[in-house]
Amino acid sequence: MTSRPYDDLPTVRYEGPDSRNPLAYRWYDADRVVLGKTLAEHLRPAVCYWHTFCWGGQDPFALGADVFRRPWSDGDPLAAAQLKLDNAFDVFRVLGLPFWCFHDRDVAPEGATLRASNAMLDAVLERAARKMQDSGVRLLWGTANLFSHPRYMAGAATNPDPEVYAYAAAQVKHALEWTQRLDGANYVLWGGREGYETLLNTDLRRELDQYGRFLAAVVEHKHKIGFRGTILIEPKPQEPTKHQYDYDTATVHGFLQRYGLEGEVKVNLEVNHATLAGHSFEHEVATAAALGLLGSIDANRGDEQLGWDTDQFPNNHVQLVPAMLEIIRHGGLGQGGMNFDAKVRRQSIELTDVLIAHVGGVDTLARAFLCAAALHESGDLEHPRDERYAGWDGALGQAILGGSGLDALADRVHAQDLSPQPRSGRQELLEQLVNRHV
Amino acid sequence: MTSRPYDDLPTVRYEGPDSRNPLAYRWYDADRVVLGKTLAEHLRPAVCYWHTFCWGGQDPFALGADVFRRPWSDGDPLAAAQLKLDNAFDVFRVLGLPFWCFHDRDVAPEGATLRASNAMLDAVLERAARKMQDSGVRLLWGTANLFSHPRYMAGAATNPDPEVYAYAAAQVKHALEWTQRLDGANYVLWGGREGYETLLNTDLRRELDQYGRFLAAVVEHKHKIGFRGTILIEPKPQEPTKHQYDYDTATVHGFLQRYGLEGEVKVNLEVNHATLAGHSFEHEVATAAALGLLGSIDANRGDEQLGWDTDQFPNNHVQLVPAMLEIIRHGGLGQGGMNFDAKVRRQSIELTDVLIAHVGGVDTLARAFLCAAALHESGDLEHPRDERYAGWDGALGQAILGGSGLDALADRVHAQDLSPQPRSGRQELLEQLVNRHV
Amino acid sequence: MTSRPYDDLPTVRYEGPDSRNPLAYRWYDADRVVLGKTLAEHLRPAVCYWHTFCWGGQDPFALGADVFRRPWSDGDPLAAAQLKLDNAFDVFRVLGLPFWCFHDRDVAPEGATLRASNAMLDAVLERAARKMQDSGVRLLWGTANLFSHPRYMAGAATNPDPEVYAYAAAQVKHALEWTQRLDGANYVLWGGREGYETLLNTDLRRELDQYGRFLAAVVEHKHKIGFRGTILIEPKPQEPTKHQYDYDTATVHGFLQRYGLEGEVKVNLEVNHATLAGHSFEHEVATAAALGLLGSIDANRGDEQLGWDTDQFPNNHVQLVPAMLEIIRHGGLGQGGMNFDAKVRRQSIELTDVLIAHVGGVDTLARAFLCAAALHESGDLEHPRDERYAGWDGALGQAILGGSGLDALADRVHAQDLSPQPRSGRQELLEQLVNRHV
Amino acid sequence: MTSRPYDDLPTVRYEGPDSRNPLAYRWYDADRVVLGKTLAEHLRPAVCYWHTFCWGGQDPFALGADVFRRPWSDGDPLAAAQLKLDNAFDVFRVLGLPFWCFHDRDVAPEGATLRASNAMLDAVLERAARKMQDSGVRLLWGTANLFSHPRYMAGAATNPDPEVYAYAAAQVKHALEWTQRLDGANYVLWGGREGYETLLNTDLRRELDQYGRFLAAVVEHKHKIGFRGTILIEPKPQEPTKHQYDYDTATVHGFLQRYGLEGEVKVNLEVNHATLAGHSFEHEVATAAALGLLGSIDANRGDEQLGWDTDQFPNNHVQLVPAMLEIIRHGGLGQGGMNFDAKVRRQSIELTDVLIAHVGGVDTLARAFLCAAALHESGDLEHPRDERYAGWDGALGQAILGGSGLDALADRVHAQDLSPQPRSGRQELLEQLVNRHV
Ligand SMILES: [Co+2]
Ligand SMILES: [Co+2]
Ligand SMILES: [Co+2]
Ligand SMILES: [Co+2]
Ligand SMILES: [Co+2]
Ligand SMILES: [Co+2]
Ligand SMILES: [Co+2]
Ligand SMILES: [Co+2]
C-alpha cells in the first residue's frame, strides 16, 4: 500500500440527483443559495479525525485487534501521527468539505508526561496549521480527550482525586489554546467520564460542584486568552459510564444555571446521544433552541434496535427534516456546524468506504436541509402553528402571561361559565404536508 | 355484595417475620424506633385513592369495560362517590396506614360546569374532613386531575387555548384550597398533559413559558392563602403524551431555575417514572437530594420488560435499599412521605387482593428501610466513600474549588510532573457490603 | 351532525406528486403497473374497522371517556352498529381502497350469551355482505376478539379454565365461518391474551400445549368447511400481557413446528409489533420470507421513543423501503395485503382527520413500494449480494452444504494453509445505492 | 509484583451469614444438602477464563489501552499464557469452586496458521490437564472463539465466504476434541458473529442454512468421537452484530427443529443476554425448561439502564429466586452448571477485586437457590398453581386436549349457555408468599 493512498484521487463534485457516481454529490451543491446563504454556509460540514483516521475497527464487545490496516497504523508513533495528518488533509481535499474537528490525542500520541504529550501535539499541530493555511480547511472545533487514559477511569473533573482534575485542567488549557491558535469556531467539552459507575461509591453533590468549577475555569480561561469561539458541552446519557452528568440538553440547562454559566456555554448535540437519552433528535434541537443553548451538531445516527452509540452515517433524509426545520426556525447554527461524528461499519474495511460514507452522509444532510427549507418557505407548517396559538396573543393569553393569579382566573371561569372545547391537533395532516416536501 | 365489604375486617397488625398471615405485617412495625424516629414517621405511607378506589381494571390497550365490580361501581354518581369514600376510610382503617392522597376528580364526579363539579367535590370532601377527624388519617397530598377530561387533551397550562389554562387555574385553586383545609402536607402538580404529541404543531418555547407562569401562579396562591405544605412536581418522561416537560428531576431543576421557582417547588419522585426516563430510582433520589429538590415519593415499581408505567406494588426490598440509603443520607423526606401510586394487576379482581397488595408493599418498604438504616449505621459504605474523596478536603482540592484557574493548575502539573494513578472503585466489595445488611 | 357525514364526499383520486389537495393521492395510482401488476394488486390496502370506526380516542393511561363524538357513538347498540357499518362503507368508498378487516366484536355488540352475540353479528354481517356486493369492497381478513371481555382476562386458549377455551373456540368458529361466507382472503388469530402476567402462577408448558391444540383445531375446522383463505398468526411481544406466546416470527416458527402446523399457518406482521419485539420491520419480513411464513402486513408505525404500541399511520417512505424490497424479493404477499392497523392520534378528533390519515398512509406505502421496485429492478443491491455469496455456489460451498464434516474440512484447512481474508461489507455504499431510488 | 500473586492466599471458606470477612462465603456452604444434593452439586459454579484472566479492562467505547496490569499481561505470548494458566488455577484453588470454562483463544494465542495456533493451544492445555488432575477442578465447558479474529468479521458459519466456514469448522474440531479430552461436561457454541450488520447485503435464508449445516456437523462429530457432553447454543440477540441468529431460546427452538437438531442441542442461558432480548431471565429458563432445552447457565447480570451486555456479577438474590425456582421445578441443570460469565467493573483494578466479586456472586447464587428451595418445598406457590389449572385435568380439559373440534365445543357452549367467570390471578399474594422465603 502506498503511504498516501488518497493522494491522487479527484475531488468529489456535485453531479446532481441523477448521478450514478458513488464519489459524486447528488444533493450537496455547496454554492447553491437557499434561504439567503449557500448550502456550505448553512451546513458547515466537518470531518471528524477520531473515527475517520484513528479508529481501527475494533469490536467493542470482543477481545481483538484492529481490523483496519492503514498506512499510518504502525511505526514510530509520532511519525505515524504526521503521516496520518497528511492523509487526513488528503481526505479533506478529496471530499471538499470546509471543516475538521479533533481531540488532542487523535492528533498526537500520549507521552510519558504531559510535557512530552504537549510537545508531540505541538509538532503535529504546527504541521496542521500549515496545511490548514494551504488548503483553506478550517477547524470547527477542538477538544481534549479526557476519557481514554486510565487516569481518567473515574472521571476527569469529577474524579475523586483532585490531581486528576488538575491534570485535566492542564490538558484542556493546551487544547483550548491550540484551538484558538487554529482559529477554531468552537471548543467542545465532552464528559465521557464525567459521571458515575455506581452510586454506592459516589458523592453526587461533590462531583457536580467539581464539574461546575471546571467548566467555569474553562470559561474564565477562554476570556483570559481572548478566544472568540463558543464553549460547547456535548450531552450524552451514559456509555462508557453508567450515568453521565451531561445527560441531555435539559440536564445541561439546569447545570449551567446552577453554576452561573448560562450565556457562556451552549450544547453540541449528537443525534445518537439524543436517541440514547430517550429523545428524538428534533426534540433535543428544539429544546436547545428554546433555551438559547443551540450550538453545534454531531450528525450521525444510531441503530433503532441497538442500545449503544453506533455512530453511523446518516442515511434517511426524511427522518432529519424535523430537526433541520427547528434549526432553520432558530435562524441557523451560527458559528456551529455539522460534524460527522460517525464511523464506517467495522466490515467497511476499504479506504474508499470512508469516502463513500462521507459522500452519502453529506448528501443526506443536504437533501434534508433543502426539504426543510422548502417546507419552511411554503408556510405549510408555520401558518397552522401560529394560528393554533393565536389565543395567547389575545387579551386572555396576555393577561395570563402578564400575571393573572388563580383567583382572577377562577372568577373569569365562573363568570363566563367557560367550557373550552378541544380542537384537532391535525397531526396526520401536518405529516402529510411535510411529505409534500421530501 | 354488601355495600361496605371491608367494614368488619380486623385491622392489619405487625406479627413479625415468621407470620404466615397474608393480612399481617412482617416488617412494618409502625412504632419501632430506628435512627431516632418510628418507622411510621420515616415512611409516612399513604394509600392513593385513584388506583385503589377508582380504577376499574380496564385493559389500557383494548376496547373494553371495567373488570372490577365494586359496591360503588354503579348508581347515582354522587351517591357512589360518597359510598366510595366510606369504603376508602374502611380500607385506611384496616391497613392502619397514616396517610391518603387524592385528585379532585377521584373523589367526586365531573359536573356540567366547574361550579357544579366544585359543589360535588365540596359535598364529598366535607364528609372526608369528618372522617379524617374521626380516624386520625391525614392527607399526604392533594392534586387536581388536569388530564382526563377532553378539554385537557392538548395540555392544561400548556394548551394552545388560554381558556383551558384559565379553567385549569380555577380547578387548581379549588383543589389547593381544599388541600389546605384538610391540612395536607403537600400539594402535587402532575403534568400528565403538559407536553407534546408532535413537534410539528408545537411551539416549545411558548409552552414552557405558559407552564412556568402557571407554576408561579400556584406558588403565589399558596403564599396568598397561607398554605404551609410543599408544592411538588411529579416528573414523568412521557405517557400519555409523546414528551412531557417535567421529564425527570434534572429537567425540572432547569425549569425551576429558569422561572425563578427554585426554593419554592420540590419533586414527588415515582419509581416507575424514574425507570421510564432511563434512570434508576436511586439516581433520581440522589439527584433530587443533591439539588435540594427531594420532596416526596410515589412508591411503586415498573416491569423491567415493559415500556409503560405499570404502577406495580414494590416487592423487591433489595432493589430499594440504595434509594432508601439516599433518603437516609439526606436526612429523610421531611413533610414528604411514601405514597403507593400502585395498582393491583388487572387479574387481581378480589377485594382482598387490594389489601394484600398494600400489606406486601408496606412490608417491602419497611424492610428496605430497615436494611438501609443498618447499612448506614454500620458505616460500611459511608467510611470508604468519605475516604475516596478525601483529597478534595486537602489543599489541592480546596484550591481548585476556591477558584484555581487553568494556568495555575497547568503550572502545578508541570512543576510536579503530576501523574495521578487510578485507584480501584471497589464496586463489587461495596455491593457485597450492602448484601450483609439485606 | 348528520348521521352519514361521509356520504356526500367525493372519492379520493390520484392527482400526482404536485397535488396540494390533502384528499388526493400523490403516489397511489391504483392502476399503475409495476413489476407486472397494478399497485392495487401489489399493496392490497385495507381499512381496519376497529381503530377507524370503534376506537373512541380514549387515553390508554388515564381514566376518562371517549373524546371522539361520532354519529354512531350513542343509542341502541345494534342500531348504532348498523349505522357504523353504513359509515364504514361510506369511508371505503371515499378512500377507494379495495379491502377491509374486522373483529367480530367491532361489527356488532356483545350480547348476554354467545347465541345473542352471534345473532347480532349475523344481523350486521348480512348487511355487510350486501354492501360488499354492491361496492366491490372485499374482505382481507376477519378475526375474533378474544381479548376485550373480562372472561378472557387470563387468556382465551391459554386460560387456566377450559370453559374459556371452549367459549373462545365457539366464537372463532362463528367468525371463521363468516369470514368464509364473506370470501375473506385470510383469517387472523391475534393472541392478545395468549401470554402471562406473572410466571409465579403460570404453567408455561400447559399453556403452550393448550395454544397448540387450539390452533390445530382452527386449522382442522378450516379444512372441514373448505375455507380457502390462509390462517395467520399476528406476532406481538407483550401488551396487554407481560409476555405473549406469539412474541415474534421466530417464536411462531418454533411453535408451529412443535405442533405440526408448519405449512398451515403464516404470519400477519405488524410494523409496531416488530419494533416492540426489538426487531426492525424488515427483519421480521425477511425472517418470515426465509422461513416460508410471510402472510400479510399490518402497516403502521410506532414511535421510536415510546415503549408501547402506538399504531400510527406510516409517514416515512424511506424507512419502509427495505421491508418492501424483502416483499418484492419474496414474490409479493400472495393473498395477503397491507392493512392499516393504525389509528389517528387522540387529538385528531375531526372526521376528516381519519380520511387524511389514510391518504397519507396509502401514499407512504405506494411511494415506498415504487422506490423498492425501482431499486430491485436496477440490480443495484441484487448484483452485489449475489456476488458476495458466490463462493457458496462453488465447489467448497457445495461440499459443505452437501455434508462435509469437521474432519474433512480441517484436513483441507491444514492442507491448503487456508487463511481467508475479510472483504468489505460495503454497507455505506449500499445505503447510498438505496438512496438513489428514494 | 510477584508473578503468582494469588499463590499464598488462603482458600475462601464458608463462615456463615454473620461473617464480615469479604473473602469468606456467607451463604455458599458447598457441602450443605438441600433437596437431596449438596449446594455444590446443584449450582456447579464455574469460573470463566476470559473475563477473569484475559480481559484488560478496556473501555469498549473509547480508544485506549488495557487498564489492568497483571503479571501475565506482557512478555512472550506463549510464556504469558502458561503463567496466566498458573494464576488461573491459583484463583480456582483460592475460590474453591469446582469448575472452569474457556475459549480456545483465551488459553493460548493465535498463531500465523491454524496449525501454529493448535500447537500453542496443545502446549497450554497439556499443562491444564495436569493441573486439573492435581487440583480436582473440572471443565464445565469448552468453546472456540469464532468472533475475535478479523476473518470472522462477517460471521463464521454464516460468512459469505465458505473458506471461513471451513476454518471455523477446523477450529471447532480442535476445541471440541480438547473438551472431550479434558472431560468437559458440555461444549458451547456462541454465535457472536452469526448474524448480520445490514439486511442490504445479507441473504438470510442462505445464512440460516449454513448455520444449520454447521451445527449438524458439530453434532455429527460429537457422536463420531464419542463425546458424551451436551452441545449447547448460547442465545444472544445482538452485539456485536446488529442481529444474531440465536436471538433467544424461542428462536433457537425453531432453528433446531428446522435443521433436525432437536434432542441434540440445548441452550446455555445468560442472564444479561435474556434481558437484552427483552425477556426476564426466568422467562428464558422457563421457556427452555418447557421446550426441553435447558442446558446450562451463564450467571451474571446486566444494568437495567444500559443497553449492552455489561456482564456484571449477580448481587440481588431476590431477583434470581424465580429463575432458581424454574430450575428446581425442572429437576435441576443435569450436567449443566452456573458459569460466572461476569467481569469486574473496569475501575476494579486490584487483584483482590476479582476474588471479592466471585465470592459475592457465588453467595448471591447460593442464597437465591436456598430461598427458592425453601419456597418450592413449602408448596406456597406450587399448590395454588396446580389448583389454578385443575380444570384441565377434568373432563372438559381432557376432551379439548384429546382433540375436540370447534363444532363440538360450540355445541357445548350453546347447550350449556356457558359463561365462564374470571378468577383472581392473585399475583400480589404470590409475590408476598415468595417474600416469606427471601
Ligand atoms: Co459526538
Ligand atoms: Co456518538
Ligand atoms: Co405511575
Ligand atoms: Co405517581
Ligand atoms: Co395488528
Ligand atoms: Co398494533
Ligand atoms: Co455468556
Ligand atoms: Co454477556
pLDDT in tens, A299-347: 999 999 999 999 999 999 999 999 999 999 999 999 999 999 999 999 9
Task: Report the C-alpha gap between D132 and D85 in whole angstroms.
Answer: 11
Task: Report the C-alpha gap between B313 and B360 in whole angstroms.
Answer: 8
Query: Residue D210 above 80 pLDDT?
Result: yes
Task: Report the C-alpha gap between A230 and A288 in whole angstroms.
Answer: 15
DSSP-derived secondary structure for B159-171: -SSHHHHHHHHHH
pLDDT digit string (tens) for D73-121? 999 999 999 999 999 999 999 999 999 999 999 999 999 999 999 999 9
Task: Report the C-alpha gap between D92 and D11 in whole angstroms.
Answer: 9
Task: Report the C-alpha gap between A72 and A65 in whole angstroms.
Answer: 15
Tell me, what's the pLDDT at B260? 98
For residue C263, count other CB atoms closer than 10 A to its CB.
10
The CA distances from residue D318 to B87, B421, D275, in Å, are 34, 37, 16
Q: At what angle do helices D351-378 and D77-95 cross, to 10 degrees?
A: 40
- Report, as an integer, the average pLDDT of D300-304: 98
Q: Grid coordinates in use for D88?
A: 488461573
Dist. CA C191 → ligand 7 center (Å)? 32
User: Nearest C-alpha of chain A: how many angstroms from C47?
Assistant: 16
Dist. CA D288 → ligand 8 center (Å)? 18
What DSSP designation does A301 have? B
User: Nearest C-alpha of chain A: how many angstroms from B198?
Assistant: 7
Tell me, what's the pLDDT at A1? 66
User: For a pLDDT cut of 70, what percent of chain B falls above it?
Assistant: 99
Tell me, what's the pLDDT at B63? 65
- The chain D residue lying nearest B422, using CA atoms, is D347
What DSSP designation does A426 have? -
Provide the residue type at A217 as one letter: A
Partner-chain contact C344 A428, CB within 8 Å: yes
Mean pLDDT of chain C: 97
Contacts of D242 (CB under 8 A, 6+ apart): A303, A305, A306, D195, D196, D197, D198
D234 is in an annotated binding site: yes
Strands (E), D215-301: 230-234, 243-244, 265-270, 294-298
User: For a pLDDT cut of 90, what percent of chain B falls above it?
Assistant: 96
Name the pLDDT band for A63 (thresholds 50, 70, 90). Answer: low
For residue C364, the chain A residues in CB contact (below 8 A) are 435
Task: Report the C-alpha gap between C199 and C197 in whole angstroms.
Answer: 7
Task: Report the C-alpha gap between C162 and C165 in whole angstroms.
Answer: 5
Query: Residue B426 above 80 pLDDT?
Result: yes
Catalytic positions of C, written as ranges: 103, 106
Q: How high is the ipTM of this complex? A: 0.98
Contacts of D179 (CB under 8 A, 6+ apart): D139, D141, D142, D143, D187, D227, D229
- Report, as an integer, the average pLDDT of C375-381: 98
For residue D318, count other CB atoms closer than 10 A to its CB.
21
For residue D21, count other CB atoms closer than 10 A to its CB.
11
Provide the residue type at A224 as one letter: K
Tell me, what's the pLDDT at B60? 78
Partner-chain contact D63 A197, CB within 8 Å: no
Name the pLDDT band for B370 (thresholds 50, 70, 90). Answer: very high
At residue D9, what are phi and psi to the nearest 5 degrees? Answer: -80, 145
Task: Report the C-alpha gap between A78 and D345 in whole angstroms.
Answer: 32
Ligand nearest to the CA of D55: 8
For residue D306, the chain A residues in CB contact (below 8 A) are 238-239, 242, 307
**Interface chains of chain A (3 or more CB pairs under 8 Å):** B, C, D
Which 3 state secondary structure label does DSSP give A8? coil
Tell me, what's the pLDDT at B27? 98
Of the candidates A413, B21, C291, the one whose C-alpha atom is nearest the C-alpha of residue D255 is C291
Name the pLDDT band for D192 (thresholds 50, 70, 90). Answer: confident
Q: Check: CB of residue A217 under 8 Å from CB of residue A209.
A: no
pLDDT digit string (tens) for B40-85? 999 999 999 999 999 999 887 776 678 899 999 999 999 999 999 9
User: Nearest C-alpha of chain B: how many angstroms from D68?
Assistant: 10
pLDDT digit string (tens) for D39-54? 999 999 999 999 999 9
Tell me, what's the pLDDT at B191? 81
Ligand nearest to the CA of C190: 5
Q: Check: CB of residue B406 under 8 Å from CB of residue A218.
A: yes
Name the pLDDT band for D63 (thresholds 50, 70, 90). Answer: low
Dist. CA C300 → ligand 5 center (Å)? 8
Contacts of D378 (CB under 8 A, 6+ apart): D436, D437
Contacts of D372 (CB under 8 A, 6+ apart): D321, D322, D324, D325, D327, D328, D437
Which 3 state secondary structure label does DSSP give C184? coil
Tell me, what's the pLDDT at C195? 97
C426 vs D172, D201, D205: nearest CB: D201
Name the pLDDT band for D211 (thresholds 50, 70, 90). Answer: very high
Tell me, what's the pLDDT at B276? 98
Tell me, what's the pLDDT at B59? 84
Provide the residue type at D312 as one letter: Q
Residue A417 annotated in active site: no
CA-based diameter of chain D, in Å?
84
For residue D434, the chain B residues in CB contact (below 8 A) are 315
User: For a pLDDT cut of 70, what percent of chain D falls above it?
Assistant: 99
Domains and CATH numbers, chain D: 13-378 (3.20.20.150), 383-435 (no CATH)
Q: Could you identify the residue written with the cell 472545533?
A: A141
pLDDT digit string (tens) for D335-346? 999 999 999 999
Tell me, what's the pLDDT at C1? 66
For residue A276, the chain D residues in CB contact (below 8 A) are 307
Tell me, what's the pLDDT at D340? 98
Tell me, what's the pLDDT at C65? 73
State whether residue A200 sits within 8 Å of chain D by CB: no
Query: Residue B319 above 80 pLDDT?
Result: yes
Q: CA A154: distance to chain centroid?
A: 24
Name the pLDDT band for D65 (thresholds 50, 70, 90). Answer: confident
User: For a pLDDT cut of 90, what percent of chain D falls above it?
Assistant: 96
Partner-chain contact A318 C317, CB within 8 Å: yes
Query: Best mutation site among C54, C55, C61, C273 for testing chain B: the one with the most B CBs within 10 Å?
Result: C61
Query: Residue D378 above 90 pLDDT?
Result: yes
- Report, as an integer, the average pLDDT of D15-37: 98
Q: Could you identify the residue written with the cell 382526563?
A: B148
For residue B65, the chain C residues in CB contact (below 8 A) are 150
The CA distances from residue A36 to A31, A33, B264, in Å, are 11, 6, 46
Tell me, what's the pLDDT at B416? 96
Tell me, what's the pLDDT at D399? 98
Ligand nearest to the CA of D298: 7
Dihedral in degrees, nearest 10, Cα atoms D87, D93, D97, D102:
20
- Report, as an integer, the average pLDDT of B100-129: 98
Contacts of D115 (CB under 8 A, 6+ apart): C414, C417
Task: Report the C-alpha gap between C111 and D408 in whole angstroms.
Answer: 22
User: Nearest C-alpha of chain B: how many angstroms from C107?
Assistant: 13
pLDDT digit string (tens) for D314-354? 999 999 999 999 999 999 999 999 999 999 999 999 999 99
Q: CA D293: distance to chain centroid?
A: 13
Name the pLDDT band for B437 (thresholds 50, 70, 90). Answer: very high
What phi-psi label fits residue B403: left (phi over 0), alpha (psi between -120 and 50 degrees) or beta? Answer: left
- The chain C residue lying nearest D330, using CA atoms, is C205
Of the candidates B253, B25, B276, the one whose C-alpha atom is nearest the C-alpha of residue A253 is B253
Q: Check: CB of residue C437 under 8 Å from CB of residue C371.
A: yes
Query: Residue B106 above 70 pLDDT?
Result: yes
Name the pLDDT band for C305 (thresholds 50, 70, 90). Answer: very high
Partner-chain contact D309 A61, CB within 8 Å: yes
- Report, as an integer, the average pLDDT of D254-280: 98
Task: Report the C-alpha gap between A254 and B39 in whole angstroms.
Answer: 35
Task: Report the C-alpha gap between C275 and A282 in whole angstroms.
Answer: 21
Which 3 state secondary structure label does DSSP give C141? strand
Tell me, what's the pLDDT at A65? 74
State whether residue B424 sits within 8 Å of chain D by CB: yes
Query: Residue B427 above 70 pLDDT?
Result: yes
Dist. CA D279 → ligand 5 center (Å)? 21
Q: Are strands D138-143 and D99-103 parallel, antiparallel or unpaired?
A: parallel
Q: Grid coordinates in use for B309?
A: 408505567
Query: Residue A66 above 90 pLDDT?
Result: no
**Interface chains of chain C (3 or more CB pairs under 8 Å):** A, B, D
State whether residue A242 sits within 8 Å of chain D by CB: yes
Dist. CA B271 → ligand 4 center (Å)? 8
Count contacts between A and C (CB, < 8 Å): 128
For residue D347, the chain A residues in CB contact (below 8 A) are 153-154, 197
Segment 126-165 of chain D within 8 Å of chain C by CB: 150-151, 153-154, 159-165
Prior bond of B240 cis (ω within 30°):
yes
Mean pLDDT of chain A: 97
Name the pLDDT band for C64 (thresholds 50, 70, 90). Answer: low
Partner-chain contact D63 A148, CB within 8 Å: yes
- Where do the H-state alpha helices sit in B316-405? 317-330, 351-378, 382-388, 395-401
Tell me, what's the pLDDT at B61? 79
Task: Report the C-alpha gap between D359 and B428 in whole angstroms.
Answer: 9
For residue A291, the chain B residues in CB contact (below 8 A) are 254, 258
A221 is in an annotated binding site: no
Q: Could you identify the residue written with the cell 448474524?
A: D195
State whether residue B430 sits within 8 Å of chain A by CB: yes
Tell me, what's the pLDDT at D66? 82
| Element at B142 (helix H, strand E) | strand B138-143
Tell me, what's the pLDDT at C275? 98
The contacts found for D1-8 with CB under 8 angstroms, 24 or more apart, are D1/D69, D1/D71, D2/D71, D3/D71, D3/D72, D3/D83, D4/D71, D4/D86, D4/D87, D4/D90, D5/D71, D5/D87, D5/D351, D6/D87, D6/D90, D6/D91, D6/D94, D6/D351, D6/D355, D7/D90
User: For a pLDDT cut of 90, what percent of chain A falls above it?
Assistant: 96
Tell me, what's the pLDDT at B1? 66
- Report, as an integer, the average pLDDT of A231-240: 96
Tell me, what's the pLDDT at C153? 95
Q: Check: CB of residue A244 under 8 Å from CB of residue A237.
A: yes
Tell me, what's the pLDDT at A331? 98
C428 vs A283, A360, A433: nearest CB: A360
At residue C424, what are phi and psi to the nearest 5 degrees? Answer: -65, 135
A311 is in an annotated binding site: yes
